[in-house]
Amino acid sequence: MNTIPEWYVDGQNPWYVPEKFLEVGQGNNAFSLPKKADRKPLEITSLKIGSLNDLKVGQHVAFQDFEGEHWLECVGLESAILCLDYPIPIYVFDNHNHVFYAWAEALKMDWFQKGATLVHMDEHFDDAPPPTPSPLAGEHPLQRLDNLEDVWRYTNEVLQIATYIKPAMQTGIFKDCLNYVESKDFEARRDALQCVSIDDNVVINLDIDVFHPDMSHISWRQKIDVLKHYLPQTRLITIATSPHFIDQEKAIELVKKVVGELF
């Protein structure tokens, strides 16, 4: 049984609590500002200890942006979950940038070690550069991974859904990132998988939108087989349900199905 982080209060993360908001221009609330500056604050989804059965679709808007000419306001999860029911800790968030906070928290818990290998399975690469300079008192935020409140602020107020991997690589959280995003990623590694040599320090980072019908050219079995291959070396799993990219009811169903296949 994995230990609950001591800074949680009654199972609730002390920074990811209800009724915290991103103002216009912050983090994920900065998309399409030139086209639409008159927007609402975005509520940041809270985080608590729970089981996968606690995953529910929320009522607050967690992501907003244009799709074509239409402005969409997308709900995410009622609460993100840190699930400690399995041999490996599992975080499930809605917007994918939140996993940056999870990685810092997991490092502090000694669930994995800096310099790990990231296995990133997603419909997108999520490797765009974050904005600079950092708002954290002029310091590079990655120097402050042990201060989780600062990491929470950076994760939410600066990072976006596609800009969280580069800072994780730059700080040495990960030494390598193995992408499973395009057909060629799966095909190129399929025959070589058994020859891949990595140490016992892997983090699986899964965006459930990789199971969207748009990604059906890569089979369910291919995706699950890759995840199972790395599972014995995996110390942590982070999952995003990605509002705007996949229906959240379907996303929750897929999270449970994938984890069920793995364990």
Q: Could you tell me the two tokens for 15?
A: 């920074």
pLDDT for position 176: 94
**Is the residue at 45 inside a domain?**
no
From its phi and psi, is residue 44 left (phi > 0), alpha (psi between -120 and 50) or beta? Answer: beta
Nearest-angstrom CA–CA distance, 135 and 223: 38
Q: Could you tell me the two tokens for 249?
A: 């009811």
- CA 12-236-99 angle, 5° bins: 60
Per-residue pLDDT of the chain (263 residues; tens, 9 = 90+): 689 999 999 999 999 999 999 999 999 999 999 999 999 999 999 999 999 999 999 999 999 999 999 999 999 999 999 999 999 999 999 999 999 999 999 999 999 999 999 999 999 999 999 876 544 444 444 557 999 999 999 999 999 999 999 999 998 999 999 999 999 888 876 555 555 567 899 999 999 999 998 899 999 999 999 999 999 999 999 999 999 999 999 999 999 999 999 99
Find the domain containing 229 and state its range.
80-262
For the chain, report the end-to-end CA distance as a whole number of angstroms: 15
Tokens 């310099």, residue located: 115
Tokens 């990605």, residue located: 242
Report strand pairing: 174-180 vs 80-83.
Answer: unpaired
**Is the residue at 205 inside a domain?**
yes
Q: Could you tell me the two tokens for 79?
A: 């609460």
Count how many domains the chain has. Answer: 1
Nearest-angstrom CA–CA distance, 39 and 12: 29
**Is the residue at 138 inside a domain?**
yes
10 Å Cβ neighbour count for 259?
A: 20
pLDDT for position 135: 46
pTM beyond cutoff 0.85: yes
Question: In Å, how far are 110, 118, 152, 226, 262 from 177, measured between CA atoms?
Answer: 20, 5, 23, 14, 21
**Is the residue at 85 inside a domain?**
yes
Q: What is the CATH number of the domain that holds 111?
A: 3.40.800.10
CA torsion through residues 9, 87, 251, 131, sign: positive
**Is the residue at 114 inside a domain?**
yes
**Is the residue at 131 inside a domain?**
yes
DSSP 214: G
